[in-house]
Amino acid sequence: MEYYQYYLMGIVLLPAILFAVIAQARVNSTFDKYSKVASSKNIPAYMVAEKMLEKKGIRDVVVKRVSGKLTDYYSDSEKVVALSEDIYSSSSISAIGVAMHEVGHAIQYAEGYKMIMVRNLMIRTSRISSILLWPLVVIGLIFNLAVVGGGLFGQICLWGGIGFFGISILLNLVTLPVEYNASNRAKELMEKEGILTKQETQSAAKVLNAAALTYVASLVVSIFYLVRFLLVVFLNSRRRD
């Protein structure tokens, strides 16, 4: 492969990487802005989460504190809404919004939301494909470039690896409606149940929308990586010809 082609491989990823950096910066700035604004009811996020879980009849899920910043998550296998140190005891608009987003995931499971079930299946499939992806791509490139008579086997390995990479793109694609749905549930509950005022809910929505953009960025990055893989295949195919 010529030197300019190596540069091309890097340039292809630049827009996606730039988008991901901007998305993450927006999350941090928006979260930090509203983490300094206390909600009018001044109730800690963990208490809000516990109250909403009880309100929705979800009594087998506990709320716990975890270390780190923005390391919040919901685990249905553990039946845990995990809130990070900067969220757990805070009554800020950012903290309430993030806590309610995780409660939204708990509600998805409780109500049997179909897309989260699809995502769980994709996660299990993606774990297997991630193990096979790089070995297949590397073997495919080696056979296509260096092994006499290894063209067919190399092509099978290479395209198999690319196919497995496509599974990660599907996972990112399926994740989008799951995350947006959890955020929409959070926004509805915050206003409907009087957790936040209408204006405060709009501010919390900005935090959740910024966080959702990072999932869009992940999808975009994975798509651009696929384009990069396809360019590698195309350029090496031309070299063999």
Alpha helices in the chain (DSSP H): 3-35, 45-55, 85-88, 93-110, 114-145, 151-192, 198-240
First-residue to last-residue Cα distance in the chain: 13
Enumerate residues 6+ apart whose C-beta is below 8 A from 153: 143
Contact 87, 98 (CB under 8 A): yes
102 is catalytic: yes
Residues 6+ apart with CB under 8 A from 20: 214, 217, 218, 220, 221
Q: What's the Cα-to-Cα distance from 143 to each of 124, 229, 230, rounded to whole Å?
A: 29, 16, 17
Question: Which is catalytic among the residues 102, 179, 191, 193?
Answer: 102
Q: Would you please indicate which residues are annotated as catalytic (active-site) residues? A: 102
